[in-house]
Structure 1
Amino acid sequence: MTEAINAKRRTLALAMGSGMLGAWVSPAVLAAAPGGAAPEWAEALRRDLDLMAQNLTRTLLAWPVPDSVFLPEAYGLTAGAPATVPATATAAIQRAIDACAAAGGGTVRLAQGDYVSGTIDLRSGVMLEIAEGSRLLASTDLKDYPERLAKRPTVMDSNMGMNQSLIFAQDCQHVGICGKGTIDGRGTEANFPGEETISGTPGRPFIIRMLDCRNVVIKDINLRDSPCWMQNYLNCEDLLIDGIRVENQSNHNNDGLDIDSCRRVIVRNSWINSGDDALCFKGAGQRPMENILVENCQFFSSCNALKFGTDSQGDFRNVLVRNVVLGGPSETMRSRKRRKSDGGISWEIVDGGTLERVLVHDAHIVRSESPLFLYLGDRGRVRPGEQRPPPGVLRHIVFDRVTGDDNGVRGSFFTGIQAKQIEHVLLRDVTIKMAAAGEPAIKAADVPVSQDIYPDPHMYATVMPAYGLWTRHVRDLSLVRVRFFNAGKDARPALLANVTSSPTL
């Protein structure tokens, strides 16, 4: 009897990935499907990622900072200068950093109020501390941001042209930023005008950019109002981000935290509210990204709260996200755009590359138009002169113990393309509340393919064919104790998927 039931459950999991588009799996079937165990691959993945997290927690620790302390005031910064003369503050801070590195490392401490600065270059062995009550204020004069070009060209440089930042580090070991103070980018449109783009952002610097660094610690710092992305870590190893607070709602392209092609990463105990993607993983560095732990965080965004992509030229694997709250900014938070995030969790592979072995558990999604979004496309963006890659791989994705409330009408959806399906996806113990639609839904047959464009959930339709979950070109989709419901009358089904049958258990 048990084997027969399990066989039917396996049939449902397989049926929901191939066959006739537009068949409706009713809420009753969703309720019946749940009773059994998850697929064996998912159970093995959970065990592997728990071990990975234990190992990271035990071994990825803040590096020991030497006791020496260096003050900009001892390197040419006179009283009253920090708030009025950016060039003086920049030079004094840089001299303190260089002296600290030459002495074998230590802390460069900003503790005397406000320091107005242009670009400063961190060195190996240097921890930059913004003490409680003090601020590092970004200069509003673009001339104070000379270009810093990457020694190793990547897609980020060739296609995005992002070469200016307030704090820059390259090829450093044992480097970091800490303190209870604030780094304020003063990045309003009035100070740094420019267009919102999906490519270059000339005239709008980053606040933090670190390339090819090892043993990086970003801890306890307050970050606000970048002219562009707040922080970008590319091809770094042993990256620890702990207890940071990011408020980035001042300009276009206001990402909160971008981690690109890094290995051995922990992001924990952090809060981000951003106009663009809050926490975004990328592969523009074109090197593998693996062994990532994200825990005990809150991410809010008017775009995507938690995202892979869009640049996915490298491979991603072994990612565990747990105990997080995700979605759009609440009424008490700053917001330049909408209160609903475009996507809650958005895993997007469009430039080749592989995204696999990703588990999100104990997540709560609020104020999101599409709480869950999986997209496998074929944009194929690479560096000039490189061969266009074939479509990538998106597989072995788990959403476990996920709840949601106060979400929009669009619904979650997973879509691959004819040439490449999304494979092996599990939703287990998922309960998400959506708003009822007040207008007709797009027909499933009319949902465009759109495989070669910049992807985001809004690129399809305001009202998708299902209020809970719609899927296309997905193979091996398993649902275990999954419930989508809404707050009113909605003519759409809870689930509309590629199914060959609707078996009864």
Structure 2
Amino acid sequence: MTQVSRRRFGAGAAAMAGALSLPGLSHAAACAMPDWALKLRADLEQMATDLTARLKPWSGPDLVATPEDHGYTTGLATQAIQAAIDDVARRGGGTVRLSKGDYVSGTIDLKSNIRFEVAKGARLLGSLDLNNYPERIAKRLTVQDTNMGMHQSLIFGEGLTNISICGHGEIDGRGSKENFPGLETIHGTPGRPFVIRIIDCQRIHIRDIALKDSPCWMQNYLNCDDLLIEHIKVENQVNFNNDGLDIDGCRHVIVRHCYISSGDDAMCFKGAAQSPGENILVEHCTFFTSCNAVKLGTDSQSLFRNVFVRHCLIGGVSEDMRRVKVVGADSGVAWKMVDGGTAENLLISDVKIIRARSPIFMRLEKRGRVKPGDPPAPIGTLRRVLFERIIGEDNGPRGSYFIGIPEKSIEDVVIRDFKVTQNPSTKPVLAETAIGEMYGQYPDPHMIDGIGDAPAYGLWARHIKGLTLIDYKVTPTGTDPRPEYVLKTNVSGVCL
């Protein structure tokens, strides 16, 4: 194990290499970006260009229908809204518009070639009667369906093409704990519908809409192709498991110019769909949370590749924001591979992290959750991860940490141009060896809170093959008793 403080780097590069005592370290190797990182940056910048050219807004016939055209006056609007959707779909597609006032509804089933618009001044309000949310069992069951019981939602679509949810109005799930009681859980969420669930669809466009107060997750897109989400505002701060946006096993995705404030994970990627999730661009967004601002996992059963997050503000909710949980985020960025699968080619650049107790967290473990009856999952892979031009303030005091397990290491991580201020720890300094491998613990960065803050204020790394730090600086706002770095095993290439 190597413990390093900033003072030990004052004598120059040669002294730096000696102080670290890491096998194979040289000044030239430490200061160079690995070839894979240079290629990754170029490839994902090209991917962003290609995605921007590929993904287009919804287009379809000019036909417009309203619930009022189908008999709606007052009361529950579900039947009239569904009649309008079905009628427009039979006629080849078009827009179903909620044009004015409030519409209370239970489950709405989208159809292909439908743009569902909630216009300015209109609101779609989720019914408070669970009987108005009949179950929609996915035709192709996934780990999420079988383990979480995700069978109820306000807006549902499966196996569709060319759909949109848009408008300058609001969709309010009215999902408070009083209206939809239930326990916080990593398993089933019975009696708490999602607001939006879209499965096995192509060409989806979500734009401009305000989404508020789901009883559970706000929106879930699973095994979809060509997904464009832009200019939406999400405030999901009313109940347990209040994720803001969950993208699971989707390909060719852009999320841009979105604002999300959520009690649980804000921007969350998953692999429970057991289909590849790849070629994803997230840009010019704000993600605030009490949990993880940008996260992969926990379900990670399939391939997750080519993800580019840039020009975003991420972190924790503040004291003066509407919130259902604590001030501050558990983490800014959290990559968690614990259920098999492979995550590779991940780039975070030009991001500001604020109010995150751990600015960055990475965990590779072997929980291995699968569908009932499926064979056990092998240990997953987390590799080729690049962070560039990251700034931040009012973070900590826990600190960033990356931990694999003895059976498998995280591979090839580069952090370049990282400048974050962090509140100092006031807890006693624990030896790194006092923290076990933590098998079976739920992989959120607070998993060590019962023991103490991370062993280093700058970075604690364990079981990593290929770690390169270039111009990496964490500055405590007061005296912190910990060393800046604790780098235990299989660490190569450090440059400050």
- Give the shorter-chain TM-score range: over 0.9
Superimposed CA distance per residue, residues 147-169 of structure 1 (whole angstroms, 9 cap, x where no aligned partner): 00000010011111110000000
Superimposed CA distance per residue, residues 186-238 of structure 1 (whole angstroms, 9 cap, x where no aligned partner): 00000000000001000000000000000000001000000000000000000
Paired position in structure 2 for 1:487: 477
Output aligned runs, 1:376-387, within 5 Å: 376-387=364-375
Which residue among 455, 474, 477 is the counterpart of 2:464?
A: 474
Instruction: Report if the CA contact (8 A) 1:362-1:400 is conserved.
Output: yes
1:23 aligns with 2:11: no
Could you tell me which amino acid in structure 2 is paired with residue 467 of structure 1? Y
1:441 aligns with 2:441: no
- For the structure 1 residues 174 and 436, does the alpha-carbon distance in structure 2 shift closer, same or farther, using more than 3 Å as the test? same
Output aligned runs, 1:414-429, within 5 Å: 414-429=402-417
1:64 aligns with 2:59: yes
Deviation at 1:29, TM superposition (A): 3.5
- For the structure 1 residues 335 and 442, does the alpha-carbon distance in structure 2 shift closer, same or farther, using more than 3 Å as the test? farther
- For the structure 1 residues 328 and 27, does the alpha-carbon distance in structure 2 shift closer, same or farther, using more than 3 Å as the test? farther
CA distance in 1, matches of 2:492, 2:275: 41
Paired position in structure 2 for 1:3: none
CA distance in 1, matches of 2:117, 2:429: 52
Paired position in structure 1 for 2:454: 464
Output aligned runs, 1:105-504, within 5 Å: 105-461=93-449, 462-498=452-488
Which residue among 69, 75, 79 is the counterpart of 2:70?
A: 75
CA distance in 2, matches of 1:161, 1:184: 22
- For the structure 1 residues 375 and 501, does the alpha-carbon distance in structure 2 shift closer, same or farther, using more than 3 Å as the test? closer
CA distance in 1, matches of 2:492, 2:129: 63
- For the structure 1 residues 94 and 37, does the alpha-carbon distance in structure 2 shift closer, same or farther, using more than 3 Å as the test? same
- For the structure 1 residues 317 and 25, does the alpha-carbon distance in structure 2 shift closer, same or farther, using more than 3 Å as the test? farther
Deviation at 1:36, TM superposition (A): 3.2
Deviation at 1:66, TM superposition (A): 1.6
In the TM superposition, structure 1's runs of 4+ consecutive aligned residues that sit over 3 Å from their partners are 25-37, 499-505
CA distance in 1, matches of 2:67, 2:57: 24
Could you tell me which amino acid in structure 1 is paired with residue 447 of structure 2? M
Unaligned runs of 5+ in 1: 1-20
Could you tell me which amino acid in structure 1 is paired with residue 349 of structure 2? H
Could you tell me which amino acid in structure 1 is paired with residue 240 of structure 2? H
Question: Is the partner of 2:402 in helix, strand or coil?
Answer: strand
Percent identity reads 54
1:51 aligns with 2:41: no
Superimposed CA distance per residue, residues 92-148 of structure 1 (whole angstroms, 9 cap, x where no aligned partner): 000000011111111000012100000000000001000011100000111100000
Superimposed CA distance per residue, residues 479-498 of structure 1 (whole angstroms, 9 cap, x where no aligned partner): 11110110101110111112
CA distance in 2, matches of 1:138, 1:412: 39
Question: Is the partner of 2:180 in helix, strand or coil?
Answer: coil
Paired position in structure 2 for 1:9: none
Could you tell me which amino acid in structure 2 is paired with residue 23 of structure 1? Q
Instruction: Report if the CA contact (8 A) 1:212-1:234 is conserved.
Output: yes
CA distance in 2, matches of 1:232, 1:426: 31
Greater shift in the superposed pair: 89-98 or 27-36: 27-36
- For the structure 1 residues 436 and 385, does the alpha-carbon distance in structure 2 shift closer, same or farther, using more than 3 Å as the test? same
Paired position in structure 2 for 1:37: 32
Paired position in structure 2 for 1:11: none
CA distance in 1, matches of 2:346, 2:413: 10
CA distance in 1, matches of 2:277, 2:441: 23
Deviation at 1:307, TM superposition (A): 0.1
Superimposed CA distance per residue, residues 222-269 of structure 1 (whole angstroms, 9 cap, x where no aligned partner): 000000000000000000000010000000000000000000000000
Instruction: Report if the CA contact (8 A) 1:27-1:483 is conserved.
Output: no
Instruction: Report if the CA contact (8 A) 1:448-1:460 is conserved.
Output: no
Deviation at 1:438, TM superposition (A): 1.3
Greater shift in the superposed pair: 415-424 or 452-461: 452-461
Could you tell me which amino acid in structure 2 is paired with residue 459 of structure 1? M
Question: Is the partner of 1:484 in helix, strand or coil?
Answer: strand
Instruction: Report if the CA contact (8 A) 1:413-1:470 is conserved.
Output: yes
CA distance in 2, matches of 1:431, 1:364: 10
Instruction: Report if the CA contact (8 A) 1:27-1:494 is conserved.
Output: no
CA distance in 2, matches of 1:184, 1:445: 49
- For the structure 1 residues 60 and 28, does the alpha-carbon distance in structure 2 shift closer, same or farther, using more than 3 Å as the test? farther
Deviation at 1:442, TM superposition (A): 2.9
CA distance in 2, matches of 1:501, 1:355: 21
CA distance in 1, matches of 2:93, 2:112: 7
Instruction: Report if the CA contact (8 A) 2:364-2:410 is conserved.
Output: yes
Instruction: Report if the CA contact (8 A) 1:312-1:352 is conserved.
Output: yes
Instruction: Report if the CA contact (8 A) 1:380-1:452 is conserved.
Output: no
Higher relative contact order structure (alpha carbons within 8 Å, sequence separation ≥ 6): 1
CA distance in 2, matches of 1:275, 1:164: 20
